[in-house]
Amino acid sequence: MVISIASLALVLSGVVKAGPGAAPAAVTVAPTVMSYQGLLSDPDTGQPLADGTYNMHFAIYDAPAGGTQLWEEPADPAVVPVQVTNGVFTILLGSLVPLSPPVFAGGNTYLEVEVDAQTLQPRQQILSVAYAMVAETLDGMDSEDFSPVGHDHFDEAWSGASDDSGLQVTNTSTGIGRYGLKGVAGSSFGFTAAEETGVVGESADGHGVFGASETSRGVEGYSESGIGVFAGTLNGIALQAAGDVLYSGALIGAFPRPAYDSGFLIYADGGETKTLNHNVGGDPDDYVVDIQCKFAGDGFAHNFNIGQDEIDTDIEGAAWDNLQSNSISVLRFVDDPFCDSIRLRIWEIE
């Protein structure tokens, strides 16, 4: 009896899926079996074959006729018994002889089915669904050579030559907290920049950004209309430079904070000397010292009679003396009428 076959389904089996919320799976070897479903019928009557068990043999070729055999199951001349119901049968190809990616690597492939020693024609072309197996390799590299889902590049070092940027990250989103690149060392303290920022460095305990160069700039930043480099801190030093600081524009903002500020202290009429413990340390030759006075009558700061001033027989004014690395003396002279309060500040310039 002549037998006719029609392919109903050809589906890869063994695909692994992760459930909702599951961690990404490691790279998985592509399945080596393929589900095949066919319909056997009598070509003269069109009726399906009678129910029963039929001996079958399967082979894959690289051509619709002739060509090279790429795979067979089971090994010829063995056969495999297959149950047929209403003419329909289903089998997992590769259960006995695993299917491997090279079988499909050449392009067109065709399945030949033999039923009870009768080779059925034509061969059934295997379409793209089976070629998912080829994803097991790429340009000859095994899938395990590639990174799994959820990979990172932590602790990697890259090097090369570029006429532009070694690494460029562009974030086109705008608004507060939008960064091109953000780095956190140690732990974060929840810093958020007030506007779009190209590079943000944050550390609760260490340096937000640290730049060093042997002969050029340690840190360089530009902005067309904002701030080129912004430094801020909650409790430490916002900006520290171990070398010279060069700027070409105006220095806008507060004058550098002094290393010591006594505030305005009241000095007695008739003259008084106070010894102030500033504890700045270092070399006093590197200090810049400033003194200011206030007159109780109007409360305004001034620099009248700074230093000793002799008017007729009166000795007026205020001055500092005996500068050391941890203390300094401040004097209001005996006849001074203007320096009811005196403020002293010290900057260390090197």
- What tens digit of pLDDT does each residue of 148-184 get? 566 677 778 888 888 887 788 888 888 887 888 888 8
Residue 17 is part of a domain; what is its CATH number?
A: 2.60.40
Tell me, yes or no, whether 123 lies in a domain: yes
Residue with tokens 């070399």, as numbered in its chain: 283
Tell me, yes or no, whether 171 lies in a domain: no
Q: For residues 132 and 30, is the Cβ–Cβ distance under 8 A?
A: yes
Same-domain check for residues 265 and 140: no
Tell me, yes or no, whether 237 lies in a domain: no
From 145, 179, 202, give the residue that closes a domain.
Answer: 145
For residue 52, what pLDDT band results from cuts at 50, 70 and 90? very high
Q: Check residue 135 and give its pLDDT.
A: 53
DSSP states of 146-214 as a string? SPPTT---TT-------SS-SS-------STT-EEEEEEES-------SS-EEEEEEESSS-S-----S
Residue-wise pLDDT for 186-234, tens only, equals 888 777 776 788 888 888 888 888 888 778 777 787 777 777 777 877 7
Percent of the chain topping pLDDT 70: 84
From 88, 112, 145, give the residue that closes a domain.
Answer: 145
pTM of the model: 0.41
Q: For residues 293 and 338, is the Cβ–Cβ distance under 8 A?
A: yes
Q: For residues 251 and 339, is the Cβ–Cβ distance under 8 A?
A: no
d(CA 321, CA 279): 16
Tell me, yes or no, whether 223 lies in a domain: no
Q: Is the pLDDT of residue 242 over 80?
A: no
Q: What average pLDDT does range 312-333 have in this prediction?
A: 93
Q: Is the pLDDT of residue 283 over 90?
A: yes
Tell me, yes or no, whether 71 lies in a domain: yes
In whole numbers, what is the pLDDT of the chain averaged over residues? 81
From 145, 175, 205, give the residue that closes a domain.
Answer: 145
Q: What average pLDDT does range 100-112 have in this prediction?
A: 86
Which domain, by its residues, includes 268? 260-348
With H, G, I as helix, E, B as strand and everything else as coil, classify residue 135. helix
Q: Check residue 167 and give its pLDDT.
A: 81
Q: Residue 328's beta-bridge partner residues?
A: 276
- In SS3 terms, 234-301 reads as CCCCCCCCCCCCCCCCCCCCCCCCCCEECCCEECCCCCEEEEECCCCCCCHHHEEEEEEEECCCCCCE
Tell me, yes or no, whether 253 lies in a domain: no
Residue-wise pLDDT for 6-27, tens only, equals 766 565 443 333 333 434 444 4
Most confident option among 75-84, 127-136, 213-222, 323-332: 323-332
Q: Residue 80's beta-bridge partner residues?
A: 56
Structurally, how many domains does the chain consist of? 2
Q: In angstroms, what CA-CA distances link 118 with 38, 63, 80, 115, 125?
A: 15, 19, 14, 5, 19
Tell me, yes or no, whether 336 lies in a domain: yes
Q: Check residue 136 and give its pLDDT.
A: 52
Residue with tokens 């033999």, as numbered in its chain: 114
Tell me, yes or no, whether 173 lies in a domain: no
Same-domain check for residues 134 and 265: no
Q: What average pLDDT does range 46-54 have in this prediction?
A: 93
d(CA 84, CA 97): 22
